[in-house]
Chain A
Amino acid sequence: MPETGNTGTTVGESALPAPKKKDAVPGLALGLTLLSAGPVVILALLIVVLGFLSPYFLTGRNLGNILAQTAVISVVAMGQHLVILTRGIDLSVGSNLALASVVGALAFHGGAPAFAVIAVMVGCGAAVGAINGLFYVFGRLPHPFIITLATLSIAKGLALQLADGRAIPGMPDSIDALGRDAVWGLPGSVFVVAGVAAVLLVMAKTMVWGRWIYAVGGRPDAALRMGIPVSWVLVSVYVISGLCAGIGAVILAGRTDAGSPLFGNLLELDTIAAVIIGGASFLGGRGHLGHALIGAIMIGVIRNALNLLNVNVFFQLIVIGVVIVIAVESDVLRNYLEGRVRVMQAGRQS
């Protein structure tokens, strides 16, 4: 009896899992590749399906609209992405954008020329980012959640105070031009997004600074022991996140010809959602700028399509929430599969 039982298992083991074991690692690798390509595939499928559902969706005009509407989220999400790469979070981006737009509008009405208005907005964004980074690092705060939550409130209050609670109409012509069609039917804001993406991509991929961001996000304690200036790397990502919020303020001010303390409501959640939906890891150290852009476009596409299909606005929030859960779960699945690959390789060696 025990003999047959034994032979049964040995036969089963040698006949089935053993040949499978060789294929298992490539199989897992394929799964990992699919997972990392997931957001792009889903976006492509989404576009195809929506093209069938709504005749208006794939028109050039509508696609241009989507890009224009997602320009702000895209640009701010790229900054948020750098912060998330270092295991952080920047909750202040929306209020920061509002404050920057108000300060810019006030500067314009104070007689500042267009370039100065832009500089004021971007500088204001970067300054709030610097405050976030410096307090987080040198104030020895346990998590950036706290300081960016505080600046979310402070920047919003300042913006409302400065603007007396109302939008301030009027922006220089050259800023307004960003909202109008520029080339090939695309609004100027799209080129701003492309420019920012190009600069950040070069910095993140080819400069030592970029490598340090990934190292700090991957293992902060090890980064310190390897002599990487962790404090300054952290401060820098918050400055850049704030700077991106300032650029977002310029784009939004251009589209609406105004600065307003009500700009950027819930933008922090949109940008975090974009980064996560795009496929970057919330655990830090994983992801690239493309993830932030794809996520931002996906959010734009979902919103636009639900509008075209006459779906209730409230339902959009539910859909985006569901997509976030799917994205985070696939990140968990990816980590699990990587663990499996490691176990298999250890098994092969011995």
Chain B
Amino acid sequence: MSAVAANADRAATADQPVLAVRGATKRFGSVLALDDVSIKVRRGEIVGLLGDNGAGKSTLTKCISGVHQLDAGEIALDGAPTQIRSPADARFAGIETVYQDLALFDNLTPGQNFFAGRELARPQWLPRGLRFLQQRRMDAETRVLLANLKVTLPRLDAVVAMMSGGQRQAIAVARSTVFARKVVILDEPTAALGLRESRQVLNLVAALRDQGNAVILITHNMEHVVELADRAVVLRQGRKVGELVPTRENKQELVSMIVGA
């Protein structure tokens, strides 16, 4: 009974998008960076966000992750319109972002990077900054997390500055898996990576989806889109120009949508 009810419940909520952006518009001076863009992402779904340079992909994701604010339009989480005024707001609402520049702290260890801004500490009655770090607990959780994601790092006590590009990318993606509760945005996570390192990162992206997150994946790599994305949304000059289920057959169609030919 309860299993059936749970299933019905899941079916009901599966249709409800976790993230719905409606009529997003954003201007920078006289440049219209986003013009009435709407997208929806459901639980356990990967949406590929495609477009040429300057198409508005980064602007859209930065509005969702609180770096920029929309001039018009709204962002709804689980159906409820939500104000996202800062990156901290977005993280609090369950939106994680893997930035193109990774936003890693080179001078900290992988574990310290995972928990940056969300350190496990006590006692609870003290203001956040004055609590005492629970370093051992954070170290242990880091080890479990990396093992679950099958990410191997040479040393966990070395600072991130000493690690390779792929390892750093893996750390940044893995960090988003720690705290992602609803939405994960990945901005070109495989740019500048070798074949094997890309593969590892793509596996992490799939793991994020399997955890039940709604995933937005920005990439220029059509192979990755066809392989991973359930839907592809194409932006051009700040407008949404198309949305389709990417397959090997319509790859060419996607490319022409992107370049506008």
Q: Which of B105, B154, B194 contacts A215 (CB 8 A)?
A: B105
Question: Smallest CB-CB separation from A337: which chain B residue?
Answer: B162
Structural contact, B164 and A211, CB atoms closer than 8 A: no
Instruction: Give CA–CA (A221, B166) in the complex, Å.
Output: 22
| B11 in the interface (beta carbon within 8 A) | no
Structural contact, A349 and B164, CB atoms closer than 8 A: yes
Interface bracket on A: 20 to 34
Instruction: Give CA–CA (A224, B130) in the complex, Å.
Output: 18
Instruction: Give CA–CA (A219, B154) in the complex, Å.
Output: 23
Structural contact, A349 and B197, CB atoms closer than 8 A: yes
Interface centre among B92, B103, B166, B196, by most A CB within 10 Å? B103
Instruction: Give CA–CA (A218, B103) in the complex, Å.
Output: 10
| A7 in the interface (beta carbon within 8 A) | no
B-facing residues in A211-231 (Cβ within 8 Å): 211-212, 214-215, 217-219, 221-229
Q: Which of B65, B119, B196, B197 contacts A211 (CB 8 A)?
A: B119
Q: Which of B103, B130, B161, B166 contacts A208 (CB 8 A)?
A: B130
A-facing residues in B52-108 (Cβ within 8 Å): 65, 67, 86-88, 91-92, 97, 99, 103-108
Chain B contacts to A: CB under 8 angstroms:
65, 67, 86-88, 91-92, 97, 99, 103-108, 112, 116-119, 121, 128-133, 154, 161-167, 194, 196-197
Structural contact, B162 and A208, CB atoms closer than 8 A: no
Question: Smallest CB-CB separation from A340: which chain B residue?
Answer: B162
- Distance between A323 CB and nearest chain B CB, rounded to angstroms: 24
B-facing residues in A227-249 (Cβ within 8 Å): 227-229, 232-233, 236
Question: Smallest CB-CB separation from B194: which chain A residue?
Answer: A350
Structural contact, B196 and A350, CB atoms closer than 8 A: yes
| A145 in the interface (beta carbon within 8 A) | no
- Distance between B156 CB and nearest chain A CB, rounded to angstroms: 15
Known: A209-B129, A211-B112, A350-B196. 8 other contacts (CB 8 A): A208-B130, A214-B107, A222-B103, A225-B65, A227-B91, A342-B162, A345-B154, A349-B197
Structural contact, B105 and A219, CB atoms closer than 8 A: yes
- Distance between B56 CB and nearest chain A CB, rounded to angstroms: 20
